[in-house]
Structure 1
């Protein structure tokens, strides 16, 4: 399908927002990238990950501790993805480009591929959020139906009951299946991949092998097949579920929209920034623990409008964006508690599963 175009605006909402956000940073005299609090958090998460990994693989803890540490390892993988890799991939972790590249590169060590992620997330998802047939994040067919445009199968009437099982296998499916599909098909959904350089190919295969050694072959050698399998399943399922829930709560809830381009002109109804407001939701923004753990991705509206700004600034700029939405008559979608957002996601899935 051809890519849709966003409607031009005489008085652009996005232009006004950028003006206000720029003024804010000039007034407070802060950089738009990360600060020492973010760097300290990154160190804590990565040191914690290395410590748990070494203890599990080389010191073989008792069964109950191995299970608890496997759960914690899954949470740490998700947290590193949210806080370090994600900001780095958007160029907002640091004002230094090489530091951002290093932060984004952490995904390769954890089993993903930074090249594929950049195409899937930064290029496609952020440009065409919730647009069926283009946004790969809402394409879970045939297992789940996420928009009215997607074909409904009989099993979808139960998707609000079995969704958690699919979310649990996301991480393991991502690193062992989805990246390879994109690589060999040279596509992210309907979008062709940009040409990979020799270095990109080397990184893809080199770090897939390195991840296999680090998380499969070495642990099996050290602790045995059975103990490795139990631990590996636990940690990947926890990571997959946490990663899935955080991203799904941001876009697939009852109030978010799934706009469709005009069939004749190929144009979307709204300008890009308004499209982001309508397709994105926040949750638990007054909970500092949630914000710390998910890397500010509970401020998803702010992130989609200003991905180049680090998540440490989202609480401050959210006030500016909320006020602008009020002035322009736009609904600022927000759920005050995580459980409310989860309930809305389940209700959304139930609705999409009906005839």
Structure 2
């Protein structure tokens, strides 16, 4: 079954059951409403405050490392540094989506400096991967976040696992969070590999020196300031906590939602809403997840400043209800239960996306 994605031609009949002609116009109607609401305006005070506080916190943690010295309390500072780096990574994410400034170069260079110089990640590598995810979330062969890897996200990949790999894959949900402790190391390694590869990389001449300098200076600072055992424990703790914080922010947003077949053609609004999941919460959840808990709104309007997502959410929810498009939102801990349950039973839970709720939403 396919749905045309040709350009919108005009507003649909309110509350009409979607048809192949109406669905292609649904997003343009919503986008016009959101533009007129003013929620796409930049939030400079918010972002300059967040950026300043994050950089100050980064410096404060390193000052603490120097002052505490030879003590296992350094592990608490390692966890604190991981939290600060995660917050910087979220700000880099926002800037890469051009949420922060009106100027494209300002956004791009802010993301480049935050990612490479502070966090130690290649923004070019991450942006290419993340843009592909936004283009086709949960679509086989197009979304790199569900591509074959350590974790099998689709029945086809799971079926290809044999022997001990197959046994582990059938209970991979229980290993998911332990595996996230390696995510921080993986992100650094993948970034370096991309920048030293022969593949074309924008601004490689800037990113590679920044990234390598950050990684080398980080390890050198630990070696100078701390005894070897504590330095190694600090590095391991920081990488593990950083990986869990980032992975736990991204994983609940799509894992366990419908998997889209490789050849499917779904209109933009339903592609983004039906494959995404929001996480209910409070300011603490917003902080820990970097605003990604409002994933539906973020996917519909990726350049919308993070603090405006909570304001557009009621509008999006009401519009989806009017169209009969399923809008999924669950609690914080419930989202992780869903992810673990899905990964432990991929064949049973990777349902046909054109049964329920997608088929009903498309009127097929």
Structure with higher Rg: it is 2
Query: How far, CA to CA, are the matches of 2:175 and 2:254 in structure 1?
Result: 19
Counterpart of 2:54 (choices 45, 48, 56) is: 45
Deviations 1:243-285 (A, max 9, x none): 01111110103xx1111143xxxx42x202211111111102x
Query: Where do residues 173-322 of structure 1 align in structure 2 (5 Å cutoff)?
Result: 173-177=186-190, 179-181=192-194, 184=197, 186=199, 195-197=200-202, 200-253=203-256, 256-262=257-263, 267-268=264-265, 270-284=266-280, 286-322=281-317
Return the offset for 1:318. 0.8
Say which is worse superposed, 31-40 or 323-332, in terms of deviation.
Answer: 31-40
Q: Say if 2:259 and 2:275, in contact at 8 Å, map to a contact too.
A: yes
Matched, 1:161 2:180: no
User: Unaligned stretches of 5+ in structure 1?
Assistant: 187-194
Gap change, CA 1:59 and 1:211, over 3 Å in 2: same
Q: Say if 2:195 and 2:201, in contact at 8 Å, map to a contact too.
A: no
What is residue 59 of structure 1 aligned with on the other side? 67
Counterpart of 1:330 (choices 325, 331, 338) is: 325
Query: How far, CA to CA, are the matches of 2:196 and 2:301 in structure 1?
Result: 29
Return the offset for 1:180. 0.7
What is residue 89 of structure 1 aligned with on the other side? 96
Return the offset for 1:353. 7.2
What is residue 139 of structure 2 aligned with on the other side? 131
TM (norm. structure 2) is 0.83
Q: Say if 1:93 and 1:103, in contact at 8 Å, map to a contact too.
A: no
Query: How far, CA to CA, are the matches of 2:310 and 2:190 in structure 1?
Result: 36
Gap change, CA 1:235 and 1:163, over 3 Å in 2: same
Q: Say if 1:128 and 1:134, in contact at 8 Å, map to a contact too.
A: yes
Counterpart of 1:145 (choices 149, 152, 158) is: 152
User: Unaligned stretches of 5+ in structure 2?
Assistant: 7-19, 350-364
Counterpart of 2:42 (choices 27, 33, 49) is: 33
Deviations 1:59-111 (A, max 9, x none): 343534211111111111111111x1111001111224444234312001111
What is residue 192 of structure 1 aligned with on the other side? none
Deviations 1:118-171 (A, max 9, x none): 21112x111011112221122351x21112232432121121111112111111
Matched, 1:349 2:343: yes
TM (norm. structure 1) is 0.85
Gap change, CA 1:6 and 1:275, over 3 Å in 2: farther
Q: Say if 2:40 and 2:305, in contact at 8 Å, map to a contact too.
A: no
Gap change, CA 1:5 and 1:121, over 3 Å in 2: farther
Query: How far, CA to CA, are the matches of 2:183 and 2:225 in structure 1?
Result: 26
Query: How far, CA to CA, are the matches of 1:301 and 1:234 in structure 2?
Result: 32
Q: Say if 1:283 and 1:299, in contact at 8 Å, map to a contact too.
A: yes
Return the offset for 1:116. 1.1
Q: Report the secondary structure of 2:50's partner residue.
A: helix
Return the offset for 1:292. 3.1
Q: Report the secondary structure of 2:138's partner residue.
A: coil
Return the offset for 1:339. 0.6
What is residue 190 of structure 1 aligned with on the other side? none
**Structural RMSD (CA):** 2.3
Q: Say if 1:156 and 1:353, in contact at 8 Å, map to a contact too.
A: no
